[in-house]
Homo-oligomer: A and B are copies of this chain.
Amino acid sequence: MTKVGLIGLGLMGKPMAKNLLKAGFDLTVMSRSEGPVIELETLGAKRAESYSSLGAVSEFVVTMLPTPAVTKEVVLGPGGVLGGMKPNSILIDMGTEDPALAREIYERAKEIGVSALDAPVSGGDVGAIAGTLSIMVGGDRDVFERSASVLGAMGTNISYVGGAGSGQAVKAVNQVMVAGILATIAEGLTLLERSSVDTEAALEALMAGRAGSNLLKAKARQILDQSYAPGFKVDLHLKDLGIVEAYARENSVVMPFTQLAKSYLEAVSYSGGGELDHCALVEVVRGLGDLSLG
Q: Is the CB of A174 within 8 A of B266?
A: no
Q: Is the CB of B290 within 8 A of A271?
A: yes
Cβ-defined partner of A268 (8 Å) among B260, B283, B285, B291: B291
In Å, the complex CA distance between A188 and B177 comes to 6
Q: Is the CB of B211 within 8 A of A178?
A: yes
Cβ-defined partner of A271 (8 Å) among B209, B262, B289: B289
One of A18-26, A43-51, A118-126 contacting the partner: A118-126
Closest to A174 in B: B211
Q: Is the interface of A mostly helix, strand, loop or mixed?
A: helix
Closest to A126 in B: B210
The CB with the most chain B CB atoms within 10 A, among A133, A177, A292, is that of A177
Question: Chain A interface residue count: which class?
Answer: 35 or more
- Minimum Cβ distance to chain B for residue A246 (Å): 11
Could you say which residues of chain B place their CB within 8 Å of the CB of A244? 191
- Minimum Cβ distance to chain B for residue A161 (Å): 5
Mark contacts of A254-290 with chain B using CB atoms, 8 A cut-off: 1 yes-contact digit, 0 otherwise.
1111111111001110111100100010011101111
Cβ-defined partner of A191 (8 Å) among B173, B185, B216, B259: B173
One of A65-73, A74-82, A87-95, A192-200 contacting the partner: A192-200
Contacts A/B (CB < 8 Å), 16 sampled: A122-B211, A157-B209, A161-B202, A166-B195, A169-B197, A177-B216, A191-B247, A226-B294, A249-B266, A259-B260, A259-B262, A270-B289, A271-B288, A271-B290, A273-B293, A283-B291
